[in-house]
């Protein structure tokens, strides 16, 4: 999917709150076009607004709405049988918002067909008792841990403390991150753009590890009833890509722009450690 996006493909964003806006900004830095569907947007607010149907025809669709059943625009089962039928074969659907935004049974019925889309789910209907049949059909499945990075937890804690201090009218000094700087990521600039980007993402977050862990506790020989919650409770420290230090061998302008577009800091090294 990276090759498609870097070659002129589009990302459809459903929900334009904090996360949706951050994703759109990051895509713009990478030169990837996007369309946005959010019924709460005032007409003319953004130039890339589109209907939900238009967004669902993009190459990659990422879901970010709040979960609500209230009118006038409920997001519960926002993607049902009809909406899911608009997904093209080979497109990618990502849901890291709330499980019930997608009708999981309708999604399963879609995925058992030939030429189905690729699906990545971090959130599920009925958590922690997820649909294991659906899990076996998705490309990647994780245990609602998209926001579980160490950096994210520390930032959320700082925001809570700052809000409490403001409410109580007391002074508070932000000590900065207690996590320390993560290990540098080493890359070769001669890689094709999509390959370089994939290596960068996988070095910071090997998502296949979390996918394998969920499948093991949900459907493997050692399946355990409380496995979903245990994975979340015992989740190991994970660092974010933002502000990571990246060591690049002989980077060209395009490589520099791509890495900086992801919010990373670049160091030029003709022979970075850990590479060959």
**What is the residue range of 37's domain?**
2-141
Catalytic residue among 144, 204, 238, 239: 144
61 domain-assigned = yes
For position 269, what pLDDT does the model report?
57
Tokens of 227: 């496995």
Query: Please, which contacts does 21-25 make with residues 24 or more away whose CB atoms are closer than 8 Å?
Result: 23/62, 23/64, 24/48
235 domain-assigned = no
Tokens of 208: 């296949």
Helix, strand or coil, per DSSP, at residue 202? helix
Look up 127 and say whether it is catalytic: yes
33 domain-assigned = yes
113 domain-assigned = yes
Phi and psi (nearest 5°) for 230? -65, -40
19 domain-assigned = yes
Question: Who contacts 22 (Cβ-Cβ below 8 Å, separation ≥6)?
Answer: none
Catalytic residue among 127, 188, 198, 240: 127
Catalytic residue among 98, 137, 204, 239: 98
For position 271, what pLDDT does the model report?
47
Look up 98 and say whether it is catalytic: yes
CATH label of the domain that carries residue 109: 3.40.50.720
For position 276, what pLDDT does the model report?
40
Question: Who contacts 84 (Cβ-Cβ below 8 Å, separation ≥6)?
Answer: 102, 103, 106, 107, 110
126 domain-assigned = yes
For position 274, what pLDDT does the model report?
47
For position 251, what pLDDT does the model report?
80
User: How many domains does the chain divide into?
Assistant: 1
68 domain-assigned = yes
Q: Cβ(106)–Cβ(81) under 8 Å? A: yes
pLDDT < 70: residue spans in the chain: 176-179, 268-276
Look up 245 and say whether it is catalytic: no
50 domain-assigned = yes
């Amino acid at each position: 999917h990276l090759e498609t996006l870097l070659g002129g493909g589009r990302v459809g964003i459903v929900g334009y709150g904090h996360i949706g806006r951050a994703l759109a900004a990051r895509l713009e830095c990478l030169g990837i076009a996007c369309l946005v569907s959010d019924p709460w947007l005032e007409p003319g607010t953004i130039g890339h607004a589109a209907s939900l149907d238009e967004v669902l025809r993009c190459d990659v669709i990422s879901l970010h709405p709040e979960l609500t059943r209230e009118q006038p625009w409920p997001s519960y089962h926002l993607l049902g049988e009809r909406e899911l039928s608009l997904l093209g074969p080979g497109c990618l659907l990502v849901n890291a918002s709330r499980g019930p935004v997608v009708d999981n049974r309708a999604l399963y019925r879609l995925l058992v067909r030939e030429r189905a889309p690729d699906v990545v789910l971090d959130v599920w209907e009925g958590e922690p008792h997820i649909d294991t049949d659906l899990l076996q059909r998705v490309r990647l499945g994780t245990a609602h841990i998209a926001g579980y990075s160490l950096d994210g937890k520390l930032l959320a804690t700082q925001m809570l403390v700052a809000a409490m201090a403001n409410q109580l009218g007391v002074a508070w000094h932000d000590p900065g991150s207690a996590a320390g700087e993560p290990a540098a990521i080493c890359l070769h600039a001669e890689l094709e753009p999509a390959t370089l980007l994939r290596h960068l993402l996988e070095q910071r977050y090997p998502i296949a590890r979390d996918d394998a862990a969920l499948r093991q506790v949900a459907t493997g020989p050692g399946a355990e009833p409380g496995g979903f919650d245990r994975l979340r409770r015992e989740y190991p420290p994970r660092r974010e890509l933002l502000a990571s230090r990246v060591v690049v061998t002989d980077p060209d302008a395009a490589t520099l722009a791509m890495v900086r577009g992801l919010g990373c800091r670049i160091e030029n090294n003709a022979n970075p450690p850990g590479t060959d």
